[in-house]
């Protein structure tokens, strides 16, 4: 969900409409059933969380603890855990994990709704 949110936000800041970015990404090779189901939540997060930040972080931390015990590196899981910490700090702990898109937008100096960045043409 974090990587998907990053891709959508990057596309928006590149001048691509969010609806189009969602259609392209979910229709591509990365378009898993989970992403296809959650893509509409990047347009409007649900009032009631399907799976909230707090529960996701609990599960990630169980995985991180197990990985530590087994000496297995989980770098993307560790980064996601940090982003979930940031989501909690923004008061999003009981929001659906689709709020990761909103968190990334919150952390971006130029909001995606008004992109200043366009693809460079040479």
What's the pLDDT at 30? 82
> Which tokens belong to 4?
């998907």
**Would residue 122 count as lying in a domain?**
no
Q: Which residue stretches of the chain have pLDDT < 50?
A: 116-122
What's the pLDDT at 121? 36
What's the pLDDT at 114? 52
What's the pLDDT at 109? 86
Mapping DSSP onto H, E and C, the string for the chain reads CHHHHHHHHHHHHCCCCHHHHHHHHHHCCCCCHHHHHHHHHHCCCCCCCCCEHHHHHHHHHHHHHHHHHHCCCCHHHHHHHHHHHHHHHCCCCCCECCHHHHHHHHHCCCCCCCCCCCCCCC
**Would residue 112 count as lying in a domain?**
no
What's the pLDDT at 46? 81
Instruction: State how many domains the chain has.
Output: 1
Count CB-CB contacts under 10 A for residue 77: 14
pLDDT tens digits for range 37-48: 889 999 988 888
Query: CB of 58 within 8 A of CB of 93?
Result: no
What's the pLDDT at 119? 41
Kindly report the CATH number assigned to the domain that includes residue 26: 1.10.1040.10
101: domain range? 2-107
Query: CA-CA distance, 78 to 63, in Å (whole number)?
Result: 10
């Amino acid at each position: 969900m974090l990587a998907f949110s990053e891709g959508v936000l990057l596309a928006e800041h590149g001048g691509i409409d969010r609806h189009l970015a969602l259609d392209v990404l979910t229709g591509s090779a990365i378009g898993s059933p989970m992403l296809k189901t959650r893509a509409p939540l990047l347009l409007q997060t649900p009032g009631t969380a399907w799976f909230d930040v707090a529960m996701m972080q609990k599960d990630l931390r169980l995985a991180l603890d197990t990985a530590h015990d087994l000496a297995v590196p989980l770098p993307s899981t560790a980064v996601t855990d940090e982003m979930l910490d940031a989501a909690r700090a923004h008061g999003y702990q009981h929001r659906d994990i689709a709020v990761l898109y909103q968190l990334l937008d919150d952390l971006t100096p130029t909001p995606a709704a008004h992109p200043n960045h366009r693809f460079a043409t040479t």
